[in-house]
Amino acid sequence: MADGDSVKIGTPTVQGARVRAKVVTHGKFPKVIAYKYLRRKNAHKKIGHRHQFTLLEIMDVQG
């Protein structure tokens, strides 16, 4: 946390610091494909998943 020349460093947090944020959107990232294959076994498996995310907009940092 910096205010002009004074800098506050916390381990792990700065006491009394506050961050205001607004949720912009929720969504999913593009699909990730994991393909598992065993050679000479005639075995394969295709697995996919999509990670979810939340996009935030930082409005104010006080401390």
- pLDDT, one tens digit per residue, over 12-36 is 888 888 999 999 999 999 999 999 9
Which residue segment(s) compose the domain that 46 sits in?
Answer: 18-62
The rounded radius of gyration (Å) of the Cα atoms in the chain is 22
Distance, CA of 24 to CA of 30 (rounded, Å): 19
- Report if residue 30 sits inside a domain: yes
Q: Is the pLDDT of residue 61 over 90?
A: no
Please tell me the total count of domains within the chain: 1
- Report if residue 22 sits inside a domain: yes
Residue indicated by tokens 């065993």? 38
- Report if residue 9 sits inside a domain: no
- Report if residue 26 sits inside a domain: yes
- Report if residue 36 sits inside a domain: yes
- Report if residue 25 sits inside a domain: yes
- Report if residue 4 sits inside a domain: no
CA 35 centroid distance within chain: 25
Percent of the chain with pLDDT over 70: 100
